[in-house]
Amino acid sequence: TLIELVLYMALLVILLPSIILMLLQVSKNQQHVYTRAQIENTAAVLFSELNYEITHASKILTSTSIFDSDQGVLVFRDSDDQLRRIEYSTDTVEFSETTYNIGRVSLFDGLDRWITSENLAITSFKIEPARDDDSNLTGLNLWIVIAPLSTDTEIDQSNILRLRTSIEVQPHTIEE
């Protein structure tokens, strides 16, 4: 009947905006979760690579490394005495038709290759030597900040990941 039709239309007018808002919120939350997972995955890959390289280093070249800087550089030699370098570098990337100058971490092992994704920005990569009471190098302290390319919104800013860890050098690793 006409009354039922008007009643259903009124209910639709009341419920439709709520349903649309709920779906938009779900979509927004999904993007937040995806970005957070990407940041955490990048952090896991980066720390795995750093841990492997540092624990397999035969020499840490502290005289040519850059410590206590947000744009740190670690220079070392591997077990085959090959020169290797892990460093903060800037890169220009295009994402969603926008160009960004971002920080990334690269590994030089004969070839330069990126360790971190071009979809995220490394805003700080700080390395500091850890020493015992006799000033012997015992490890490296790392401070790393990983952020989404855009930090315009509060949600984007909540995805910024600040990490601090230490990696112990092996007894066979010497400082040069």
Binned at pLDDT 50, 70 and 90, residue 153 comes out as low
Question: Is residue 155 scored above 70 in pLDDT?
Answer: no
Q: pLDDT value at position 151?
A: 63
For residue 81, how many other CB atoms are within 10 A of its CB? 8
Residue 106: which of 159, 64, 53 has the closest Cα?
A: 53
Mean pLDDT taken over the chain: 90
* Residue 83, C-beta contacts closer than 8 angstroms, at least 6 positions apart: 75, 76, 77, 108
Question: Is residue 176 scored above 80 in pLDDT?
Answer: yes
DSSP string for residues in 28-55: HHHHHHHHHHHHHHHHHHHHHHHHHHHH
Model confidence over 108-140: pLDDT tens digits? 988 889 999 888 999 999 999 999 999 999 999
Model confidence over 63-92: pLDDT tens digits? 999 999 999 999 999 999 999 999 999 999
User: Chain centroid to CA 59: how far?
Assistant: 26
- Per-residue pLDDT averaged across 11-30, rounded? 86
